[in-house]
Amino acid sequence: MATEIQTRADVQTVAVIDYGMGNLHSVAKALEHVGAGRVLVTSDAQVIREADRVVFPGVGAIRDCMAEIKRLGFDSLVREVSQDRPFLGICVGMQALLDHSEENGGVDCIGLFPGKVRFFGKDLVEDGEHLKVPHMGWNEVVQSVQHPLWHEIPDQGRFYFVHSYYIEAGKPQQVVGGGHYGKDFAAALADGSRFAVQFHPEKSHTHGLQLLQNFVAWDGRW
């Protein structure tokens, strides 16, 4: 019995923050697939505080996301738990970590990463070709900084994106991965134990699963 308890205590937990926006099943399944231990999709602040790692996903309109995040007190919770353990923001979860978004007439966000979330625009053109918005599909990510989460992922590896708004980082040194779709944007940001990506690792096949596996193995230092 003692051995069983010991083994259970050794299993790390990953909390996937659920604030009612979007299906988190695919993120949880991908984490389980790469051996993340106990994956808990939860809106319980205590469970999130006790987790070894925290994932902050998000889809949909930023106004609705931020309204729920603030209603649940998750803005202060995210500031707290992202300081001292590996923390991963995904898609709108990444955008919510910035200062401000232009979406929905302008929305103040959590402010962990300085910078703005801007609209690609309806007249996005490159080399004379009109680009569809949202940016949807596979795109290269240029690794601008060596980071443990890029382990065994080739530079300019392709990841899956779905977004109409892009991140204009306030601190260029925090941009660890860059994307380009009509204009340059931050595809990945990092600061301390915080890492955030605009793409969907859970939909990005080999490279995405490798990034999640790296996250599960990461101690939050680099």
**Domains along the sequence of the chain with CATH:** 2-217 (3.40.50.880)
Catalytic positions, please? 91, 200, 202
CA-closest candidate to residue 191, choices 91, 83, 96: 83
Per-residue confidence (pLDDT) for residue 9, from 0 to 100: 52
- Tell me the three state secondary structure of residue 146: coil
Q: How far is CA 101 from CA 72, 109, 219, in A?
A: 20, 7, 30
**pLDDT for position 6:** 42
Q: What residue spans of the chain are helical by DSSP H?
A: 2-10, 25-33, 45-50, 62-71, 74-81, 92-95, 205-217
**Residue 150 structure tokens:** 């890029």
Q: What is the pLDDT of residues 60-69, one digit of tens each?
A: 999 999 999 9
pLDDT of residue 22: 74
pLDDT at residue 21, rounded to an integer = 83
Q: Which residues of the chain have pLDDT under 50?
A: 1-8
d(CA 88, CA 195): 5
Q: Give the model confidence (pLDDT) of 132-182 as tens digits.
A: 999 999 999 999 999 999 999 999 999 999 999 999 999 999 999 999 999
The pair of three-digit structure tokens given for residue 16, joined into one six-digit string: 């996937």
